[in-house]
Structure 1
Amino acid sequence: MASREQFSSKTGFVMAAAGSAIGLGNIWGFPTQTASNGGAAFVLVYFVLAFCLAYPALMAELIIGRHARANVMTALRGISTGKFTYRLGTAVGCYGVITASLILSFYAIVAGWMLAFLLESVCQILGWSDVSKWLVSFSFERNIIFMALFMMLTISIIAKGVTGGIEKWSTRLMPLLIVILVGLIIYVLIQDGASEGLRVYLLPEFSQINPRLIIDAMGQAFFSLSLGVGTMLIYGSYLSEEESLPALGAAVTLVDAGIAFIAGLLIIPAIYVAKQYGAEIFTDAGQLIAGPDLIFQVLPVLFKSMGSVGMVVGLAFFVLMSIASLTSSISMLEVPVSLAAEETAASRVQATWAIGAIIFCISTLILLNFDALFGFVIDLTTVYSQPILGVLLCIFVGWIWHRDNLLAEIKKGHPEIQGGFFWKVWPTYVRFFCPVLIMTAFIQSVV
């Protein structure tokens, strides 16, 4: 096997890891959960839990990854202490790879919708009304064409490796994402109705803090960092031993939470601006519309109401969503590709195309049985599998891996860590509190 690639800089790693974390769910999931859970009160609880829960779990993945310098299965086997834990590492590694692949299989479908709406915005500007109608229609032909296009983009980046693919494109796409996001925020905030959205988003009602809000914020903090399926473990395996893992983990958590907050500054005011133009923004239960209905029904009403300017704003928005999709998808594909490239005779390029083809087939199967499979696969992976995997990874770090070996790995790049606050708190925290908190969120979400 060839020498293992590494990220060439701290910035490259932070951009790649943040890109993995900042996806479609973060752009529309965080803002709408915020509006449905007490506005600014939810934001405050989310930021606290991002560092109290998500950051410690993120550190577990990064430390295992850099120590093993291997795919998720090999990494967990490497810190095992006997036959049972070795087999457990194999099972957890397989589980993570399968989960990441299934997440990408439905994610590619949704990302394909983003590409279709992006192209529809272009067609609107060019006056191609018939093509525009087809692009926004829900049909098998449209869905499979754009899902395939999105998979081709993802595969082409992953096939080029870490520095030439993941790092290169993450450092290009993430700044572009931020620029578009800030530009859209400035535009939306000067529209009528935006101030109402800002009040919902920024003025806290602490009386609304309740167990359900805390559980929702906990789940959002955990899932938004792509934890549990091994993506951060893989990215950690490409880090230099000279880097301080606690500092890098904190930077990724801060960037992810910060961009989630910034996304809320766009989405929440934009929803209330759309309300001014006649869009229905609440469900029958009185909650703010979330998910695909928000992106594909509420916001297009806003864009169309703006006339010719709205076409440009809509184009910029779906460029933003497409970039967010791509930076997340490349990390998901890297999980199974790293396993195939390191554990079989296949080259990286061969492994990437083979795994990409398999995921394309799964996505096609979902499209052929959309009503039965789409929601099922989402629940199976994000509601059930990710929390369980997160707990298992915490168990490996807290209970199976020897404490001295764990300390030795963290001291690389941070020699004075043993006497600091992090080492005094984190090992016990990830051993006891993280599994309990994650399982609490899991049980509540299932119930």
Structure 2
Amino acid sequence: MSKGNQWSSRLGFILASAGAAIGLGAIWKFPYVTGTSGGGAFFALFILFTIFIGLPLLLAEFIIGRHTGKEAISAYKAIAPKSAWVWIGRLGVLSCVVLLSFYSVVGGWVILYTIMSVTMLSGKEYGALFNAVISQPYVVLGAQALFLLITVFVISKGVQKGIERANKYMMPLLFICFIIIVVRSLTLDGAMDGVKFFLKPDFSAITGSSVLYALGQSFFSLCVGLSCMVTYSSYLGKKVSLTRSAGTIAILNLFVSLLAGLAIFPAVFSFGLKPTEGPGLLFVVLPTVFEKMPFGTVFLALFLILFLFATLTSAFSLLEIIVAALTKDDQTKRTRYASLSGILVFVVGIPSALSFGVLKHVSLFGRSIFDVADFFVSNLMLPLGSLAIAIFVTFKMKKEAVYEEFISGSTKGVKLFNAWFFLVKYVLPIIIIAVLLSLLVAY
């Protein structure tokens, strides 16, 4: 692997991985899924799933990737040649195509709102405005194409000059801006009702679907189950501690999810909005909050620009796994395959982009096309991918090789490794299978 196609530092790797995880998962999707799935009780489940399921699986992906130094498909092939295990990587790449196809639609919405924030996004009825914007086919398709064009450009530059450089500047700025919004949201009249909804668990509100969505969200927000982190960790040197890196990324992800909830729900209750608004929640609430702030237009534009970059950092990881699987470390092919992959993702995403406009009356299993794509990846492919990875790393890889990667660059000892290995080998598969079976019963 070429040196330019590796992370230059542990910080660069963590920010890129956190960027992959945080993006839309924590900022856009987490608040509306929490709002529709039980509030505080859902958040409690999400924390438990992230720590005891998502984090161990994130570490498992790191181990596979760094051990082989290869992208997702080649990594499984290197460990288990001439076997069906390579389909974990192939299905991960396929899932990335589907995920990025509807993810880029939302990325397009962010671009539209960023432009509107400095032109016409004031004094509006934001719920009606959002519905009007996403129902215009040429507008949403154009925005989706622009979002993918930016993503393709960065990926074509490679790991250090593209992905890492973009993340180093934008992720810290996003944290700062987010904290400003939280402070403002918490000082609104009636804000405490929103805080109670978000942080005070009412477990009577939990249903089987809520548990499934909490598990899916823990996978989605940490970007596990797609083998995306297999590809990212393949660019990592042996001196970096995988356990510390995985822990840092999980903590950052939970922190941003907390900030997202504290930014959104106090404002939702303060302005008499519904926490069950759905995918448009962020685009309805935040402009309303900023309009009540001094220099609100400036802050809204700044946040949307930074949110756009956080959204892009997640898109980078999704496109990177597709491009890396195609180039197989032949960097002369990177630009060509990045462009072709971007076109493929755009075409696959057209039905999702139009599902709020000309295709809004088309439904599959009682869901819009956009929601079907989301459900397919978040609640089916991510758990199935995670289950396969847990089995692969504990049954197929040599335990000595797994242990060597676990402790490399770390002071963590045998006891922690044994606890992690037992959890991944025996406990997590049972939990994931139980949740998937409950899904089959429910549907």
Shared fold per TM-score greater than 0.5: yes
**Which residue, out of 332, 349, 353, partners 2:339?**
353
- Name the structure 1 match of 2:48: 48
For residue 179 of structure 2, give the secondary structure of its aligned residue in structure 1: helix
Could you tell me which amino acid in structure 2 is paired with residue 58 of structure 1? L
Partners of 2:213 and 2:379 within 8 A in 1: no
1:179–1:343 CA distance, 2 compared to 1 (3 A):
closer
Please state how far the C-alpha of 1:34 moved relative to its aligned partner.
Answer: 3.9
For residue 123 of structure 1, give the secondary structure of its aligned residue in structure 2: coil
Deviations 1:56-90 (A, max 9, x none): 1111100000011111110001111x64xx2x133
1:186–1:240 CA distance, 2 compared to 1 (3 A):
same
In the alignment, the residues of structure 1 paired with residue 209 and residue 130 of structure 2 have an alpha-carbon distance, to the nearest angstrom, of 41
Could you tell me which amino acid in structure 2 is paired with residue 427 of structure 1? F
In the alignment, the residues of structure 1 paired with residue 11 and residue 230 of structure 2 have an alpha-carbon distance, to the nearest angstrom, of 18
Please state how far the C-alpha of 1:3 moved relative to its aligned partner.
Answer: 5.1
In the alignment, the residues of structure 1 paired with residue 327 and residue 271 of structure 2 have an alpha-carbon distance, to the nearest angstrom, of 48
1:162–1:135 CA distance, 2 compared to 1 (3 A):
farther
Report % sequence identity: 31
Please state how far the C-alpha of 1:153 moved relative to its aligned partner.
Answer: 1.1
Could you tell me which amino acid in structure 2 is paired with residue 292 of structure 1? P
- Name the structure 2 match of 1:285: none
**Which residue, out of 178, 200, 205, partners 1:181?**
178
Structure 1 stretch 97-106 or stretch 205-214: which is displaced more?
205-214
In the alignment, the residues of structure 1 paired with residue 316 and residue 182 of structure 2 have an alpha-carbon distance, to the nearest angstrom, of 27
- Name the structure 2 match of 1:24: 24
In the alignment, the residues of structure 2 paired with residue 134 and residue 204 of structure 1 have an alpha-carbon distance, to the nearest angstrom, of 31
- Name the structure 1 match of 2:278: 291
**Which residue, out of 411, 415, 432, partners 2:426?**
432
Structure 1 stretch 323-332 or stretch 209-218: which is displaced more?
209-218
**Which residue, out of 200, 208, 229, partners 2:197?**
200
How many positions carry a matched residue from both structures? 427
- Name the structure 1 match of 2:161: 164
1:239–1:180 CA distance, 2 compared to 1 (3 A):
same
Please state how far the C-alpha of 1:292 moved relative to its aligned partner.
Answer: 2.1
- Name the structure 2 match of 1:121: 117
1:48–1:116 CA distance, 2 compared to 1 (3 A):
same
In the alignment, the residues of structure 1 paired with residue 105 and residue 6 of structure 2 have an alpha-carbon distance, to the nearest angstrom, of 31
In the alignment, the residues of structure 2 paired with residue 320 and residue 274 of structure 1 have an alpha-carbon distance, to the nearest angstrom, of 24
In the alignment, the residues of structure 1 paired with residue 39 and residue 110 of structure 2 have an alpha-carbon distance, to the nearest angstrom, of 27
Please state how far the C-alpha of 1:359 moved relative to its aligned partner.
Answer: 1.4
Counterpart check, 1:103 vs 2:103: no
Please state how far the C-alpha of 1:261 moved relative to its aligned partner.
Answer: 0.9
1:310–1:442 CA distance, 2 compared to 1 (3 A):
farther
- Please show how residues 26-425 of structure 1 align to structure 2 within 5 Å: 26-35=26-35, 39-80=39-80, 83=82, 86=83, 88-124=84-120, 136=133, 138-205=135-202, 214-275=211-272, 279=273, 281=274, 288-303=275-290, 306=292, 309-342=295-328, 347-364=333-350, 366-367=352-353, 370-371=359-360, 372=362, 373-414=369-410, 417=412, 419-425=413-419
TM-score, length of structure 1 as denominator length: 0.87
In the alignment, the residues of structure 2 paired with residue 366 and residue 206 of structure 1 have an alpha-carbon distance, to the nearest angstrom, of 33
Which ranges in structure 2 are unaligned for 5 or more consecutive residues?
363-368
Please state how far the C-alpha of 1:270 moved relative to its aligned partner.
Answer: 1.6
Could you tell me which amino acid in structure 2 is paired with residue 10 of structure 1? R
Partners of 1:219 and 1:441 within 8 A in 2: no
Q: Aligned Cα RMSD in Å?
A: 2.8
In the alignment, the residues of structure 1 paired with residue 342 and residue 208 of structure 2 have an alpha-carbon distance, to the nearest angstrom, of 41
Please state how far the C-alpha of 1:211 moved relative to its aligned partner.
Answer: 6.2
TM-score, length of structure 2 as denominator length: 0.87
Deviations 1:214-246 (A, max 9, x none): 544333222210111111111111111001111
In the alignment, the residues of structure 2 paired with residue 122 and residue 9 of structure 1 have an alpha-carbon distance, to the nearest angstrom, of 36
1:310–1:274 CA distance, 2 compared to 1 (3 A):
farther
